[in-house]
Every structure is written in structure tokens, then in C-alpha cells.
Amino acid sequence: MNVYMNYIPKPLDTSNIVLPKGLDELTEALSKNVHEVWAAGRIAEGWKYGPVRDDLKKEHPCLVPYEELPEEEKSYDRATALSTIMFIISKGYTIKQ
């Protein structure tokens, strides 16, 4: 029996968070870092660049510098970064430059 059958994710609701203006640079820097951490992990596991994802060969088309990612992949990383920023703010922290 799968012990996780009844698992229901419950992410913190951050829909009421209003982001301060001027976080574009931070969001992009976090997005790039999210990609760099992901890519470093894959490379450490033996993955390399390949034109299409191939789990058996451990090849992935996104093992390229962040700047060379397709916009769809950058958007995914930006969404991760924004949700992280909103989570931090929802917990009462402030972000100052």
C-alpha cells in the first residue's frame, strides 16, 4: 500500500501578498540561482546537455546557462522565485536593498 496515497499538498496561501515595487532585479537573480542550483545538481548526478530530455542517457536540453534558456523555462524559474519572495513576506520578513 502506498503510504502517500492520501497526501494533499497545502502550500501557504500568498494570494493576498502585494509585492513591493522594484523586485524585478531580485526576482531575476533568484530565478537564475534556482536554475544554477538545479543544473549543478543534475551535473553532479552525471547529467549532461542533450537536445532532448533522455532519462536513460541522462541528457537534458536545459543544461545551458540561464540566459540561453527558452522563455518558458525562465518563466518557471521566475514563478519559483516569486513564490519564495511572497512566502518570505507572508511570514513577516521585509526585503530591503
What is the per-residue pLDDT across 31-75, written as a single tens digit (0 to 9) for each?
999 999 999 999 999 999 999 999 999 999 999 999 999 999 999
pTM for the full model? 0.83
d(CA 17, CA 41): 31
CA 77, CA 29: separation in Å to the nearest integer? 10
Residue 39 makes CB contacts below 8 A (sequence gap 6+) with: 62, 63
All cell numbers assigned to 46: 552525471
Q: For the chain, give every domain's residue range.
A: 27-79
At 90 the three-state DSSP class reads helix
Report pLDDT digits (tens) over 40-50: 999 999 999 99
What does the pLDDT read at residue 65? Answer: 98
